[in-house]
Amino acid sequence: MAEYGAQPRMGFFTDTSVCIGCKACEVACKEWNGVPEAGGEDLLGLSYDNTGDLGSNTWRHVAFIEQRKPAVDLGMPAVGAPDQEPEEPGVRWLMSSDVCKHCTHAACLDVCPTGALFRTEFDTVVVQQDICNGCGYCVPACPYGVIEKRESDGRAFKCTLCYDRLGAGMEPACAKACPTDSIQFGELDELRERAAARVSTLHDAGVPEARLYGHDPEDGVGGDGAFFLLLDEPEVYGFPPDPVVTTRDLPRMWKRAATTAAGVAAALVVSFLGRHR
């Protein structure tokens, strides 16, 4: 676990089993960070989702996934008016608030040519807007498809984990606004322990499909600074099942390129000397 000075690594644990899809996190994120609308109140035809996915103008995205499966009783209080009609039999909703994962091995950092992307003292990944030149190399480098260039000015934007709030001793705006504590902020080691206990509780309560995603330091990105408790396979939520840092092969590629270049240079030297004998 990386630490910078005496500051432990900070992050998010999103417990999707208690997300009610209220979108308070989306609103709080936009209001605090001054994130513009993602093109208006679009009706995408995807249930109640009007933002689609993460991007330069959507740093928090609440997904609504409708499944033809019996709803699982997670011990949550009923939501809605007392006379509200019951949910359709055989249908359940999975809701999840997605965000930048603040990867341990962040490919966006590896490819940024200007140093606009940097790792903070909290071990989070932030874009410095006054340094970003809009090259866009970070966009395809992200294994989660999080970072995006904003069409209005060409620079890249994504979640900063409210870096300015952390510096002032405050929690991120989305976690502060979440009414069910679905989004939890804190020291990453403590969050991982809390998440493991929550999964165990759900298993004991008869929810065997509960699992953690992005918590493993041995995965393809070295573990995420923002990880999730899911109630189905990662693909159902739009997550890659086995994310891998996209720059993992760069050292080997550069080594091979250097070897090839050295071989070509040696051949040219031999050819040049042979001509002058």
Instruction: Say which CATH number the domain at 241 has.
Output: 3.30.70.20
pLDDT at 45: 64
162 annotated as belonging to a binding site for a ligand: yes
Q: Would residue 21 count as lying in a domain?
A: yes
Is the domain of 136 the same as that of 266?
no
Is the domain of 95 the same as that of 133?
yes
Domain that holds residue 156: 10-73+87-246
Is the domain of 216 the same as that of 251?
no
112 annotated as belonging to a binding site for a ligand: yes
User: From CA 175, how far away is CA 123, in angstroms rounded?
Assistant: 18
**Domain count for the chain:** 2
Is the domain of 19 the same as that of 57?
yes
Q: Would residue 105 count as lying in a domain?
A: yes
pLDDT at 66: 87
132 annotated as belonging to a binding site for a ligand: yes
Q: Would residue 135 count as lying in a domain?
A: yes
In Å, how far from its chain's centre is CA 268? 48
Q: Would residue 142 count as lying in a domain?
A: yes
- Taken in order 191, 194, 200, 203, the sign of the CA dihedral is negative
Contacts of 26 (CB under 8 A, 6+ apart): 51, 58, 60, 61, 62, 97, 174
Q: Would residue 3 count as lying in a domain?
A: no
Is the domain of 199 the same as that of 267?
no
Record the pTM.
Answer: 0.80
178 annotated as belonging to a binding site for a ligand: yes
Per-residue pLDDT of 67-113, as tens digits, reads 887 666 665 554 444 455 555 557 788 999 999 999 999 999 999 99
pLDDT at 78: 46
Strand 61-67 relative to strand 92-98, pairing: antiparallel
Is the distance from CB of 98 to CB of 104 less than 8 angstroms?
no
pLDDT at 68: 80
223 annotated as belonging to a binding site for a ligand: no
202 annotated as belonging to a binding site for a ligand: no
Is the domain of 104 the same as that of 30?
yes
29 annotated as belonging to a binding site for a ligand: yes
Is the domain of 263 the same as that of 162?
no
Three-state DSSP class for residue 181: coil
Is the domain of 120 the same as that of 221?
yes
142 annotated as belonging to a binding site for a ligand: yes
108 annotated as belonging to a binding site for a ligand: yes
Q: Would residue 82 count as lying in a domain?
A: no
Is the domain of 52 the same as that of 125?
yes
Q: Would residue 78 count as lying in a domain?
A: no
Q: Would residue 80 count as lying in a domain?
A: no
Is the domain of 229 the same as that of 260?
no
- The stretches in the chain having pLDDT less than 70 are 1-6, 38-47, 70-89, 248-267, 269-270, 272-277
